[in-house]
Amino acid sequence: MGATADRSTARLGPSLHIKGEISGNEDLLIEGSVEGLVQLDERKLTVGATAKLTADIIAREVVVYGSVKGNLRAKDRIEIKKDGSVNGDLTTARIMIEDGAYFKGSIEIDKSGEKETGGGSFAKTSSSTATAGVGPKTI
């Protein structure tokens, strides 16, 4: 989660519970609970370890450490970290699911976002370990 500190990131703390729609033009770290829609078209959403989202998510990049029930659409990439949990369908150009993560749903690789980001080193359907860690699964 240290990578979120390189530019200003808005933060919803662990005691906050939001029902409705969140939209904006800055990176966001959610540590509380959200029900509804989270739309950050050109930004990064980080779902913290204590977060519980029952929401559809639209962002440039999504990193999940906590729990998400809903569909995720990311223009660039989606990462589900080892203690993360996602129950929903994913649409993205690149995906990374670490060992120990929980995922239930379908994955659609959207190559249209890939042209804008230069293709990425780990997309498509081949398997490689392009990121450090305990053997993430790359699709």
Confidence of residue 139 (pLDDT cuts 50, 70, 90): low
Average pLDDT, the chain: 83
**Taking 60 as the threshold, does the pLDDT of residue 103 lie above it?**
yes
**Taking 50 as the threshold, does the pLDDT of residue 85 lie above it?**
yes
pLDDT for the residue numbered 127: 31
pLDDT for the residue numbered 8: 83
The 10 Å Cβ neighbour count of residue 22 is 18
**Taking 60 as the threshold, does the pLDDT of residue 2 lie above it?**
no
- How far apart (Å, rounded) are the C-alpha atoms in residues 93 and 77? 6
Q: Domain coordinates of the chain in residue numbers?
A: 9-111
- How far apart (Å, rounded) are the C-alpha atoms in residues 81 and 62? 11
pLDDT for the residue numbered 111: 83
Name residues whose C-beta falls within 8 Å of residue 73's C-beta, 6 or more positions apart in sequence: 56, 57, 58, 59, 90, 91, 92
* The pTM of the whole model exceeds 0.85: no
**Taking 50 as the threshold, does the pLDDT of residue 133 lie above it?**
no
**Taking 90 as the threshold, does the pLDDT of residue 13 lie above it?**
yes
pLDDT for the residue numbered 109: 94
- How far apart (Å, rounded) are the C-alpha atoms in residues 78 and 70? 14
